[in-house]
Amino acid sequence: MPELPEVETVRRGLLPVMEGQVIISALVNRPDLRWPLPENMAKRLTQVKVNALRRRSKYILADLSSGETLIIHLGMSGRILISGQGVGHFHHAHPAPAKHDHVVFDLENGARITFNDARRFGHMDLADTDRLDDHWLIAPLGPEPLGNAFHEEYLFTKIKDRKSPIKSVLLDQRVVSGLGNIYVCEVLYRAGISPKRKAANISENRLAKLVPIIRDVLQEAIAAGGSSLRDYRQADGQLGYFQHAFRVYDREGAPCPTPNCDGDILRIVQSGRSSFYCPKCQR
């Protein structure tokens, strides 16, 4: 599933094409994705202006002139692609409609924004902008890891008594929003912390070091355009390439990249998800 860097990369790709533009027409080709789509969605999105394009956790938020915000989640296989506009060094003509093009926006500048989702694990909703923080998808979310509300004291206070493994705690979107399996594995490797270690058993000093490491990993991944595994593409159709910088994720059996460490990367399963780590340098 796309994590914060992938969603932020898509948002940045859409920004110069979509923000400030009027949606001339909206086509909704099915009544549901993961959940039912909003009632009269196409009508509510037609002839409205996209005032701002934001991100909250793994959601893209399009604030509209109608007073509503479109909430977009890519799910496992969702893609948002641009056609009819130059994106970077590329110009993409409108392609023929594809089987899994579920929602399509035509903008006043000639661009077309297409949401394609083969497995339909993505979803969209409309909510009043001034009450967005109360929406059931947004309300439970913890602070943004790149924002000022996420800091060493907050993290220590939030998880000092948690008996769960630190890997599970960092994946809890109520603790910190936007982190997923890939980046938590990479963060814990850089911090030298085993994904199996109980959060309550980690010293305050070691927990404090997690905050800048989390920010570094996310910022590096955003700069690389995210990680392309299976379905993810940027808004211009190009692949992200942070996967080439993975130090532990998906590297089972490979030598640990830490200098002078003779360990090999292991894979274990925690709560149904793969964790990759070096048992010698991560304690």
* pLDDT tens digits along 189-237: 999 999 999 999 999 999 999 999 999 999 988 888 765 444 444 455 5
**54 forms bridges with which residues in the sheet?**
61
Number of domains in the chain: 2
Average pLDDT of span 173-192: 95
pTM of the predicted model as reported, rounded to 2 decimal places:
0.89
What is each CA distance from 62 to 14, 198, 259, in whole angstroms?
Answer: 10, 38, 45
At residue 4, does pLDDT exceed 50? yes
Q: Is residue 202 part of a domain?
A: yes
- Among 134, 164, 188, where does a domain finish? 134
SS3 138: coil
Q: Is residue 115 part of a domain?
A: yes
- Give catalytic status of residue 279 as yes or no: no
> Domain check: are 232 and 157 in the same one?
yes
The catalytically annotated residue of 3, 6, 8, 186 is: 3
Q: Is residue 146 part of a domain?
A: no
pLDDT tens, position by position, 6-64: 899 889 889 999 999 999 999 999 999 999 999 999 999 999 999 999 999 999 999 99
> Domain check: are 47 and 112 in the same one?
yes
**How many other CB atoms are found less than 10 A from the CB of residue 128?**
12
> Domain check: are 157 and 245 in the same one?
yes
At residue 240, does pLDDT exceed 50? no
- Among 103, 134, 165, where does a domain finish? 134
> Domain check: are 204 and 268 in the same one?
yes
Token code pair at residue 87: 């994106």
CB 29 within 8 A of CB 103: yes
At residue 241, does pLDDT exceed 60? no
Residue 272: domain span: 152-277
> Domain check: are 94 and 197 in the same one?
no
Q: Is residue 59 part of a domain?
A: yes
**52 forms bridges with which residues in the sheet?**
63
pLDDT tens, position by position, 76-114: 888 898 888 644 444 556 777 778 999 999 999 999 999
Give the model's pLDDT for residue 122.
94
Give the model's pLDDT for residue 230.
47
CB 240 within 8 A of CB 224: yes
Find all residues with CB under 8 Å of 111, minimum gap 6, and list them. Answer: 17, 18, 21, 82, 83, 84, 85
CATH assignment at residue 53: 3.20.190.10
- Among 134, 168, 184, where does a domain finish? 134
Closest CA to 238 of 79, 77, 57: 79
- Give catalytic status of residue 273 as yes or no: yes
pLDDT tens, position by position, 113-158: 999 998 999 999 999 999 999 999 999 999 999 999 999 999 999 9
Query: What CA–CA distance (Å, rounded) separates 4 from 222?
Result: 8
> Domain check: are 121 and 17 in the same one?
yes
Q: Is residue 247 part of a domain?
A: yes
At residue 75, does pLDDT exceed 80? yes
Please report, as a single letter, which amino acid is at residue 133: D
Closest CA to 112 of 3, 18, 226: 18
Closest CA to 224 of 1, 8, 79: 8
Find all residues with CB under 8 Å of 56, minimum gap 6, and list them. Answer: 138, 141, 144, 177
The catalytically annotated residue of 11, 55, 56, 58 is: 58
Of 148-152, 181-185, 242-246, least confident by mean pLDDT is: 242-246
Give the model's pLDDT for residue 236.
54
Give the model's pLDDT for residue 254.
95
CATH assignment at residue 250: 1.10.8.50
Give the model's pLDDT for residue 150.
97
Query: What CA–CA distance (Å, rounded) separates 189 from 195?
Result: 9
Q: Is residue 145 part of a domain?
A: no
Give the model's pLDDT for residue 224.
80
Token code pair at residue 30: 């099915």
CB 72 within 8 A of CB 115: yes
Give the model's pLDDT for residue 97.
74
> Domain check: are 164 and 124 in the same one?
no
> Domain check: are 197 and 107 in the same one?
no
User: Could you tell me the sign of the dihedral formed by the alpha carbons of 188, 192, 194, 197, in that order?
Assistant: negative
- Give catalytic status of residue 39 as yes or no: no
Give the model's pLDDT for residue 54.
97
The catalytically annotated residue of 206, 247, 267, 273 is: 273
More confident residue, 66 or 242: 66
- Give catalytic status of residue 58 as yes or no: yes
Q: Is residue 141 part of a domain?
A: no
At residue 3, does pLDDT exceed 90? no
